[in-house]
């Protein structure tokens, strides 16, 4: 994937990825690449493979949910009624956690560092692809004005892409007037790809509640993606993600909000982790 060189100006023209050599990747999934980790299914998929899935769904005009799992979601799915519906409906479940990739390898699964797959890992590739294909991309989420500013910046960089942002600050109760208005705005924009960034578990619950009313396009919960694009939140350097310490960057940036997520919640997953270790020993035996 593309990594911006030192001194790269994100407000300038986008990098031309087309002239760069591409690493080959398989275009078909293998059964052993869907694994069970801490009791939940995840897919060992590279960013390029995930984007190929998105591209094929856009071309076919079919609805497809691309979810993601990390330690936070694996904690929430056990404690949030209704959240599991999103993962049951997902066609692909990215693995958004380097520590979980290391754990999967210890269990004997064919996990590799390149299987870490989240918005910050494939953002440049996605927007380059969207620009080449002339996609219409809609993002629902963020504080008032944030998604709109992110859409403005992205549209300036990727002029062949139609980008629109809708505030995530609305009453998401099914049947409420504001939720109905958001669904109408989604239909009116007629996106090729729909991003939903309201934070976990709100974004997963909203997608699951409204899936039947959403258009036949790829739908991806992406958290604070447009906060990064609007410049209101700073992303950790990608080397931190590859080393599995991105959580430290985020924790120091917002300790009050994230202390429980990173320092308390993982302890509640020790039971499922020990169960995975026991299952791995049985397989090897």
Res 183: pLDDT: 98
Q: Per DSSP, what are the bridge partners of residue 60?
A: none
CA atoms within 13 A on the CB side of 156: 11
What whole-number distance in Å separates Cα of residue 242 and Cα of residue 1? Answer: 12
The fraction of the chain above a pLDDT of 90, given in percent, is 75
Res 7: pLDDT: 47
Res 23: pLDDT: 58
Task: Using pLDDT thresholds of 50, 70 and 90, give the confidence band for residue 246.
Answer: confident
Cis peptide before 116 (omega within 30 of 0): no
How do the domains of the chain map onto residue ranges?
34-234+251-281
Per-residue pLDDT reduced to its tens digit, 114-138? 999 999 999 999 999 999 999 999 9
Q: Please give the residue that has the higher pLDDT: either 14 or 169.
A: 169
Instruction: Specify the pTM.
Output: 0.87
Res 258: pLDDT: 83
Averaged pLDDT for residues 17-28: 58
Chain centroid offset of residue 249 CA: 19
User: What contacts 32, CB < 8 A, 6 or more positions away?
Assistant: 109, 110
What whole-number distance in Å separates Cα of residue 114 and Cα of residue 48? Answer: 10
Quickly count: other Cβ atoms within 10 Å of residue 45's Cβ.
23
- Candidate from 42-56, 184-198, 254-268 with smallest mean pLDDT: 254-268
Is pLDDT of 244 > 80? Answer: no
What whole-number distance in Å separates Cα of residue 241 and Cα of residue 237? Answer: 7
The rounded mean pLDDT for the chain is 89
Res 128: pLDDT: 96
Res 60: pLDDT: 97
Averaged pLDDT for residues 209-221: 98
- Residues for the chain: how many in total? 285
The fraction of the chain above a pLDDT of 70, given in percent, is 89
Task: Using pLDDT thresholds of 50, 70 and 90, give the confidence band for residue 229.
Answer: very high
Q: Which residue do the tokens 């906060």 mark?
A: 227
Res 272: pLDDT: 96
What whole-number distance in Å separates Cα of residue 215 and Cα of residue 3? Answer: 32
Q: Residue 201 has which token pair?
A: 């578990």
Task: Using pLDDT thresholds of 50, 70 and 90, give the confidence band for residue 5.
Answer: very low
Averaged pLDDT for residues 263-267: 92
- Candidate from 100-114, 165-179, 250-264 with smallest mean pLDDT: 250-264
* Cα angle 6-48-60, degrees, rounded to a multiple of 5: 135
Q: Residue 198 has which token pair?
A: 């309201």
Q: Are 145 and 176 in contact (CB under 8 A)?
A: no
Task: Using pLDDT thresholds of 50, 70 and 90, give the confidence band for residue 57.
Answer: very high
């Amino acid at each position: 994937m593309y990594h911006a060189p030192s001194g790269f100006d994100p407000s300038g023209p986008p990098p031309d990825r087309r002239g760069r050599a591409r690493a080959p990747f398989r275009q078909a999934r293998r059964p052993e690449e869907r694994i069970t980790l801490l009791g939940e299914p995840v897919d060992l998929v590279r960013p390029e493979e995930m984007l190929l899935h998105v591209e094929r769904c856009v071309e076919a005009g079919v609805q497809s949910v691309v979810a993601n799992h990390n330690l936070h979601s694996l904690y929430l799915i056990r404690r949030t009624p209704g959240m599991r519906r999103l993962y049951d409906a997902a066609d692909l479940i990215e693995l958004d956690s380097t520590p979980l990739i290391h754990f999967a390898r210890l269990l004997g699964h064919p996990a590799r560092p390149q299987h870490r797959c989240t918005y910050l890992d494939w953002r440049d590739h996605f927007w380059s692809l969207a620009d080449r294909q002339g996609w219409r991309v809609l993002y629902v989420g963020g504080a008032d004005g944030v998604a709109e500013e992110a859409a403005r910046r992205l549209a300036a960089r990727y002029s062949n892409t139609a980008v629109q942002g809708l505030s995530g600050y609305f009453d998401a109760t099914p049947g409420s007037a504001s939720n109905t208005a958001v669904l109408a705005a989604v239909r009116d924009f007629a996106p090729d790809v729909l991003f939903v960034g309201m934070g976990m578990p709100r974004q997963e619950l909203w997608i699951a509640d409204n899936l039947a009313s959403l258009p036949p396009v790829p739908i991806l919960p992406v958290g604070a993606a447009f906060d990064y694009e609007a410049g209101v939140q700073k992303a950790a350097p990608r080397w931190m993600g590859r080393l599995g310490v991105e959580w430290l960057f985020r924790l120091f940036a917002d300790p009050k909000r994230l202390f429980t997520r990173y320092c308390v919640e993982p302890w509640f997953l020790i039971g499922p982790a020990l169960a995975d270790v026991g299952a791995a020993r049985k397989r090897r035996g």
